[in-house]
Amino acid sequence: MKSVFIDGESGTTGLQVRERLAIHPQIKVVSIDPKLKRDANEKRRLMREVDVAVLCLPDAAAKEAAALAQDVGCRVLDASSAHRTAEGWVFGLPELSDQQRAAIAGAQCVANPGCYATGAILMLAPLVSAGVLSGDDVYAINAVSGYSGGGKQLIERYESGEFQSPAVAAYGLDFQHKHVREIQVLSGLAHAPIFIPSVGAYRQGMLVSIPLQEVSGEKLDCLQGTLEASYRAEDFIKLQTFNKIDPDTAPFLTPHGLDGSNEVHIHLFGSEDGSRGLLVAKLDNLGKGASGAAVQNLNLMLGLDESLGVDIR
């Protein structure tokens, strides 16, 4: 039996990691006394005991906790955005390549990807790497997430009834959203994408969309074929039929339907005249966007079956 300490286990991501590990047959959770949850010495003591420390903390606290773990030689999986492009850390997206999966398995420090970034990178990285999309273009990325993506504070704002919450609201309008860097670096882009996220008045689920221009029939075949080849052997990445929307929701493509799942559904759409195209990824921001991915990475780090406990549907 392997053991992990979840620093931040009562937060939104921490709770969901705990929920997944509760059904995990080979990992047990070692909990901190809630009264000592900010005590560095107690954290250090637990980190000495366990196989991996999972950080489900705000960035500043995650940096401090990662330093504690490194002090005592404990392996770390950080769900925050503090270390995603930092030297010495491995980006926790195994579907990027066989080398990435092996690097995660052997790493001392793994950074779990951002939720929006997961969708964007899974679409862009294989297409740019294969030369089907240019790494020199400036891509626009639009996205909508359920409010749980903003953690306890945003959940409280939407659910307390104290505020009148808009049905949907765009943000990141300074072009500085914290996922831009990881999307650029991991997708192999020369330029930062124009990333405009938005938050909707629903709890969970997201869509990440990337418009494309000049996609003739041949190019569309190439896009779909490359994605198909990249993810054919992946359990959690499901390439959808070209130009197809789920009949239950058509003509709408909604962010719903994957709550609790670790899957990402990738869609490709193209206009008949070949002038316009669209890539869309649908995922659960709390699933493959956070806690599902965290448990998948933990499994890899601990040499366990990658799919154990990742899905709580």
Ligand X SMILES: CC(=O)N[C@@H](CCC(=O)OP(=O)(O)O)C(=O)O
Give residues in contact with ligand X (CB under 6 A): 80-81, 114-115, 145, 147, 149-150, 154, 178-179, 197, 199, 289
Contacts (CB under 6 A) with ligand NDP, residues 216-235: none
Report the catalytic residues. Answer: 115
Pick one of ligand X, ligand NDP, none as the site partner of residue 286 (Cβ within 5 to 8 A by kind).
ligand NDP
Eight-class DSSP state of 289: I
Instruction: Label the pairing between strands 206-213 and 140-146.
Output: antiparallel
Question: Token pair of 51, please?
Answer: 């196989």
Start-to-end C-alpha separation, the chain: 24
State which residue, 153 or 241, has the beta carbon closest to ligand X.
Answer: 153
Q: Which residues within the stretch 44-73 sit at the binding site for ligand NDP (CB under 6 A)?
A: 56-59, 61-62
What's at 55, amino acid-wise? L
Contacts of 155 (CB under 8 A, 6+ apart): 12, 147, 148, 203
CB of 141 to ligand NDP, least distance (A): 17
Q: How many CB atoms lie within 10 A of CB 148?
A: 27
The helix/strand count (H/E) of the chain reads as 9, 13
Integer Cα distance of 150 and 206 in angstroms: 13
Q: Which does 230 bind (CB under 5 to 8 A by kind): ligand X, ligand NDP, none?
A: none
Residue 10 binding: pick among ligand NDP, ligand X, none (C-beta 5-8 Å cut-off by kind): ligand NDP
Q: Is the peptide bond before 193 cis (omega within 30 degrees of 0)?
A: no
- Residues 102 and 172: their CA atoms lie apart, in Å, by 34
Pick one of 3, 11, 29, 103: the residue that binds ligand NDP (CB under 6 A).
11
Q: Return the residue of 120, 290, 298, 312 that touches ligand NDP, per CB under 6 A.
A: 290
Q: Please, what is the minimum distance in Å from the beta carbon of residue 198 to ligand X?
A: 8
Distance between CA atoms of residues 180 and 141, nearest Å: 10
Among 46, 54, 76, 81, binds ligand NDP (CB under 6 A): 81
Nearer to ligand NDP, 115 or 258 (CB): 115
CB of 60 to ligand X, least distance (A): 12
- Candidates 17, 68, 93, 115: give the one binding ligand NDP (CB under 6 A): 115
Residue 154 touches which member of ligand X, ligand NDP, none, C-beta under 5-8 Å by kind = ligand X
Q: Which partner, ligand NDP, ligand X, none, binds residue 37 by CB below 5 to 8 Å per kind?
A: ligand NDP
182 or 306: whose CB is closer to ligand NDP?
182
3-state per-residue secondary structure call for 99-152? HHHHHHHHCCEEECCCHHHHHHHHHHHHHHHCCCCCCCCCCEEEEEEEHHHHHH
Binding site for ligand NDP (CB under 6 A): 7-8, 10-14, 37-38, 56-59, 61-62, 79-81, 114-115, 148-149, 151-152, 285-286, 289-290
